Structure 1
Amino acid sequence: MENSPALLATIGLLLALWTAGAVWAMLRASNRTQKAEGSRKAVVRLSRMIEEAPAIPLLVRSDGRIEAPDRLARWFGLEKVPEYLSELAGNDESGLSEEQTDELTRQVRRTQKTAKPFRMAVVPPGSSRALALQGTLADPSVSPSGAALVWVFDFTESEGELSKLREEAARSRDDFGALVGLIEAAPMPMWFRGADMHLRLVNRAYVEAVGAESADKVVADQIELVETVGGKTAAQVAQQAADRRQPIERILSATIDNARRTVRVTDLPLVGEGIAGYAVDIEEMEEQAREFRAFREAQRSMLDQLSIGVAQFDSQHRMTFANQPFHRVFSLPPGMVNDRTTFEQMLMVARENGRIPELRDFPAWRKELGEWFLADEPHEEAWPLSDGTHLRIVAQPLPDGGLVLIAEDRTEQLALSATRDTLLRTRTASFDSLFEALAVFAPDGHLELWNRGFAGAWGIDPEVLDGHPQAEDLLEAIAGNLADPKAITGVNHVIRSATLDRKKREGSVELADGRTLDFAGVPLPDGNGLLTVLDVTASRQAEEALRERNRALEEADAVMTRFLASMSYEFRTPLTSIGGFAELLSSGVAGDLGPQAREYVQAISLSVGKLTEQVENVLDLSQSEAGLMPLSKVKLELMPFVTEIVRNREAVILEAGLSLDLKGDAGKIVQADKQQLRRALGHLLDNAIAATPRGGKILIDIGRKRDTTRIVVSDNGQGMSKHELARAVEGIRMSADGKGIERRQGLGIPLARQLVEAHGGTLEIVSRKNAGTTATVTLP
């Protein structure tokens, strides 16, 4: 069979169409295969994404069946996902609790019926995982029979963060409330300004300070606490703080509670928009500062008056104050304080002036002194200087890091201390060398000081005194040595009187060994009491002997008085008889006498006269010494009285070749015994006549001095030495054996002295060898 071209073309066309259809079918199948593979991969990817997603779907069908990935079972603490929703309830360590399951079932059923979504959070028992459940009605494409789709989220970390944020928010609210309360209760005015610098908030103190009704009133009326200062209002100053982004602080005066007060105002820009401000009342601080400045000035003025040098250095070791004594002690030039001289520089200047000790290593010593600023306690040193000055240095560190340096010149004190030590040693040596036993008691009664003779005087052991015993203990030890132990109370009273009563008392006590002690308590200026003890045993014995002898002398004096009374008659009567018989013989009563017999009678009369005069002198002198001289005073005019005495001796004066000059006031009158005064002046005149050689001169002068009358008898004779004058004044005295009388010179001068003294006057005799003698009688 032959193939025609048309057939061939038809067959070729059919083959081409079949090939094209096969190719198309193959291409389509390949495309579907690729789509299926892509869908499978998409499903796998979506499944993996769901498994890795933070939320797990839970499909609950209308019959209660559930579908969910196995991962949800692990979240619930189950081994696998149960078949029904009610089976999610497990035990205490897995699944949900019955309450949680019932609540979830109720919410799912309501959603299935009403399509209303729900939210709930559960924490499976025994797990720390927090799960959030969000349920909605499932899309029909997912489950056409009204199933509920519940998405389960694990928000454990979010819940922790939310809890933390909630706690922080609550704490912030509490802190903010506390801060608001604190600001409101703050005693200082506080305020807040907005971006427009208008007041928005003020506290109660602000309202009270400006005297407003309320905070709202202050904000509404924009009542400012601070007035305009320097042409700038408070708002303008706050704007400057906002522009600079830095707080502005200023001190000014403001009216607070209707009183002008000094306040420190601070405008503080906040992080956000606005300016906070507060005002601190510093009126008391300013007042204290003023008082401190006044106190400091007064203190420094006072320190300038001290004799001790004081200087103050600040924490940078600079001198801030030094008084004048400090400048003098260290020879510092003026202006050291104004130049803010450092401590080290001050030491250098003092070293140049020789006012610090001589040192080998001055830099090391200066560095050591610099540590005074860091010390915790005061430091004291003694600085001996090369010129003999001794300085006491006290370094007192201050809390602010400064230092107070005190320099005291103790040179004089040390000298006084050395002198005091010497005096104490001298006193101790003097005490120990005294005959008296001494002891010093303190006001509290204990023994402070004693000498070596104190223990021996009381007969006690010296070791008893070494412990400075109390007076009671010491007296107890002494009482055993007394003849009468009860007499110790007298010693106690004397010590108590000297120490406490500050009175002087004396006493005497006898010891058992026969000794007698006199003691006395004397209060001392330092408050102590001095007890002096003296052994008067020998003096008491001598006193007793003197008393016995005095009694004997009194008896002898009585015998002498009786003797003088009888001798006054016994002496004068025989002499008068002899003189009378001699005058009778001389007058011829017994017949005419021959020349020789007459001569004998005249000699007898002359001897009787002299003997009578001597007897009278002896009797008068004895009576005067015995105090028995009888005086009969009358008014005497001295000039005629003395002239009569001179006239009675005129012949003797002329015979001796002497001249006599009598002068004085004629009106002088005295009260005196005429006979006794005549004898006294006569004896003085007789001595002058006897002591003046031929051609000599005697002067008698009567005068008055003050309330006394003076009679001066002087001559230019040979005079007497001191020894001779003493013998002449003594006249006669008892012999050394007391059995006789020693004749010394004569009875004239002693008798004249006794007679003048009997008149209440005095007799003074001045004589020089070869220069004459002057006797001065002074009468009242």
Structure 2
Amino acid sequence: MSLHGAALIPMVVLTGAASVLLAILLVRWWDRGPGRNRPRLPQGLESSLKPMVMLFRDGVLVDATPPARALLDRFSAPEGDWARLLQWIGPRFPDAIEALGRIDRLGRFESLGQSGSGSAALRLVAEGIDAGLLRITITDPQAEYAGIIVDSMSQQAMEEELDLLRRSLDQTPMLVWRQDAEERVTWANAAYLRRAEAQGDEPIGWPLPRLLESPRPVPGAGTRTRRASLNQNGAVSWYDCHSHHVGDQVMMFALPADAAVRAERSLREFVQTLTKTFADLPIGLAIFDRQRQLQLFNPALIDLTSLPTGFLTARPTLFDLLDKLRELRMVPEPKDFRSWRQQMSNLESAAATGHHVEEWSLPGGQTYRVTGRPHPDGAVAFLFEDITSEMSLTRKFRAEMSLGHNILDNIGEAVAVFSPEGQMAMTNQVYRDLWPAAPDSLGGALASWQAHAEAGPGFEALRARLAGSEGALRDTGLIKGPGGQLLGWSVTRLPGGRQMVRFRLPDPATQSDPAGQRLLTAGTAL
């Protein structure tokens, strides 16, 4: 190689190096030029790396990073952003509230958070930059030296929520567990573990035993429910089991249902008692719902109305039942169909609004008492009672009473009966003709007798006898009546404390005999 060729080699090397360096500088200048497209971090990652810094001037937020603004937006305080910040700082940095009030003298304050655990422990730094200007910085101490800034507030919130969920599941009285595809228990809460430990004397192992036969949910069908029992040392506990798919596993929830089971058992026993009672009642019972369809009836209804059992079990409406009764001639004979329908409509409306009673005189000679009573939720109940014997007895009693009154009215004496309380219980026609006024009490009768009769020893003896005064031993005597005629009186005690007073005219010879007049004056008994 010639000397000239050897001298060109270093020049070529230097020229190449200079070209490479120039190319690198041009690439960097082009990348940093305005308007150039440069590779950037993903937006979510870039925002998560931003620090949480807030700048306040005299309690007013001047500037803040996006994570800091997101923190303040989580709270609502009408006093402003400073109050929102204190609302978040208070439970996490107990000593920060007092220190922030003295930040003008302290200049700088730093506190490590008391809330959270692990990497969720936060650090708060407050710095007084200028008069009235304060900078608040919230960081994660463990992330500072790793070269990144993590949103520790989110991590702390997740850990707090996780701790809350764990405590809630452990303190709940219901059993919660998870099963895999082979129905093995892969997780359970504290209540389930306590139940499993109480089932046997030996410590439980893994996998955990299954306590309840819970329902298997159908994929896509949502939650399924089933009631299951758990027998522990002879004591049976009931649970309402709910199952739900979570991925390829199943979450089970067993809610205590002992109270519901006891209530249902009591309700069944009560219904059975009512059913037996209704079956033994001699009164026909028919209960209709708010749509007026028959929901309940007893055997006495069939016996009283001769309605077919198949007809009643088909749950007819109220008007269908009344129409059937009309066909069987078990309702009062109507004048026409229209008036009968109106009468039945009135019966239904009266029974629905309040207590209603009717008496049906049937063509066959029976008499039924039909009672309508409203029930809750718009239902109505009808009771059919055969009162034929009662009505016959009432008619017989009324006939005997009428006969007794006729007998009293046709005897020749004036009769009045007083109750133990001194009320007028009965009089006959002769008494009403004799005495112009007929007061309804013993005191009123005595006043009337005194006003229309002549006072004397006979009347005083009558007053004393009716008043029950001591020493009044006379049951008979004489008084002068309203027309001046001589009347003989007598008082008779009746059962129940009643008293009967009779007035009778003496013989005509006694009326004209002067001796009789002397007896009247002396008040001597006849």
TM-score, with length taken from structure 2: 0.55
Identity among equivalent pairs (%): 16
Out of 287, 294, 314, which is 1:318 matched to? 294
What letter corresponds to residue 192 of structure 1 in structure 2? W
Q: How does 1:53-68 map to 2 (within 5 A)?
A: none
Q: Which runs of 5+ in 1 are unaligned?
A: 1-30, 43-52, 58-70, 80-92, 108-117, 135-157, 226-233, 498-504, 548-780
Q: Is the 8 A contact 1:193 1:201 kept in 2?
A: no
Q: How does 1:455-466 map to 2 (within 5 A)?
A: 462-463=437-438, 465=439
Q: Which of the two has higher C-alpha Rg? A: 1
Q: How does 1:62-101 map to 2 (within 5 A)?
A: 99-101=102-104
Out of 177, 180, 188, which is 1:192 matched to? 177
Distance 1:40 1:532, change over 3 A: closer
3-state SS of paired residue (2:354): coil
Deviation at 1:390, TM superposition (A): 5.0
Q: Is the 8 A contact 2:368 2:386 kept in 1?
A: yes
* Per-residue CA distance 1:411-443 (angstroms, 9 max, x = gap): 665566566556555544543443212122223
Out of 336, 341, 357, which is 2:311 matched to? 336
1:201 matched to 2:189? The reply is yes
Q: Which residue of 1 aligns with 2:279?
A: 301
Distance 1:423 1:238, change over 3 A: closer
What letter corresponds to residue 297 of structure 2 in structure 1? F
Q: How does 1:621-640 map to 2 (within 5 A)?
A: none
Q: Which residue of 1 aligns with 2:500?
A: 531
3-state SS of paired residue (1:274): strand
Deviation at 1:508, TM superposition (A): 0.8
Q: Which residue of 2 aligns with 1:454?
A: 431
Out of 435, 447, 452, which is 2:412 matched to? 435
1:277 matched to 2:246? The reply is no
Q: Which runs of 5+ in 2 are unaligned?
A: 1-24, 37-46, 63-79, 83-98, 111-122, 140-150, 517-526
C-alpha separation in 2, matches of 1:250 and 1:404? 35
Q: Which residue of 2 aligns with 1:120?
A: 125
Q: Is the 8 A contact 2:479 2:489 kept in 1?
A: no
* Per-residue CA distance 1:313-332 (angstroms, 9 max, x = gap): 456613532434x3354342
C-alpha separation in 1, matches of 2:101 and 2:365? 107
3-state SS of paired residue (1:435): coil
Deviation at 1:346, TM superposition (A): 2.0
Distance 1:478 1:175, change over 3 A: farther
3-state SS of paired residue (1:509): strand
Distance 1:486 1:340, change over 3 A: same
What letter corresponds to residue 413 of structure 2 in structure 1? E
Q: Is the 8 A contact 2:419 2:499 kept in 1?
A: no
C-alpha separation in 1, matches of 2:468 and 2:418? 13
3-state SS of paired residue (1:444): coil
Q: How does 1:330-729 map to 2 (within 5 A)?
A: 330-357=305-332, 358=334, 359-360=337-338, 375=352, 377-383=354-360, 391-399=368-376, 402-410=379-387, 424=401, 427-454=404-431, 462-463=437-438, 465=439, 468-469=440-441, 471-472=442-443, 474-475=445-446, 478=449, 482-484=455-457, 486-487=460-461, 488-493=463-468, 507-511=475-479, 515-523=486-494, 527=496, 529-535=498-504, 537-538=506-507, 541=510
* Per-residue CA distance 1:322-374 (angstroms, 9 max, x = gap): 434x335434234333444443432232222233353317777766766679x
What letter corresponds to residue 535 of structure 1 in structure 2? R
Q: Which residue of 2 aligns with 1:747?
A: none
Deviation at 1:204, TM superposition (A): 9.0
C-alpha separation in 2, matches of 1:416 and 1:120? 102
C-alpha separation in 2, matches of 1:506 and 1:209? 96
Q: Is the 8 A contact 1:309 1:323 kept in 2?
A: yes
C-alpha separation in 1, matches of 2:486 and 2:129? 119
Deviation at 1:292, TM superposition (A): 2.9
3-state SS of paired residue (1:490): helix
Deviation at 1:401, TM superposition (A): 5.6
Deviation at 1:293, TM superposition (A): 5.0
C-alpha separation in 2, matches of 1:321 and 1:77? 78
Q: Which residue of 1 aligns with 2:70?
A: none
C-alpha separation in 2, matches of 1:392 and 1:410? 6
Q: Is the 8 A contact 2:177 2:251 kept in 1?
A: yes
What letter corresponds to residue 504 of structure 2 in structure 1? D
* Per-residue CA distance 1:619-646 (angstroms, 9 max, x = gap): xxxxxxxxxxxxxxxxxxxxxxxxxxxx
What letter corresponds to residue 288 of structure 1 in structure 2? S
C-alpha separation in 2, matches of 1:443 and 1:256? 71
How many pairs are equivalent? 404
Q: Is the 8 A contact 1:309 1:327 kept in 2?
A: yes
Q: Is the 8 A contact 1:389 1:411 kept in 2?
A: yes
Q: Is the 8 A contact 1:210 1:255 kept in 2?
A: no
Distance 1:204 1:507, change over 3 A: farther
What letter corresponds to residue 216 of structure 2 in structure 1? Q
* Per-residue CA distance 1:681-738 (angstroms, 9 max, x = gap): xxxxxxxxxxxxxxxxxxxxxxxxxxxxxxxxxxxxxxxxxxxxxxxxxxxxxxxxxx
3-state SS of paired residue (1:238): coil
TM-score, with length taken from structure 1: 0.40
- Structure ranking higher on relative contact order (CA contacts 8 Å, 6+ apart): 2
Distance 1:78 1:284, change over 3 A: closer
Deviation at 1:533, TM superposition (A): 0.9
Distance 1:275 1:483, change over 3 A: same
Deviation at 1:241, TM superposition (A): 4.1
C-alpha separation in 2, matches of 1:78 and 1:401? 64
3-state SS of paired residue (1:336): helix
What letter corresponds to residue 120 of structure 1 in structure 2? V
Deviation at 1:280, TM superposition (A): 2.7
Q: Is the 8 A contact 1:518 1:536 kept in 2?
A: no
* Per-residue CA distance 1:146-178 (angstroms, 9 max, x = gap): xxxxxxxxxxxx99x98xx96x99799678756
Q: Is the 8 A contact 2:373 2:381 kept in 1?
A: yes
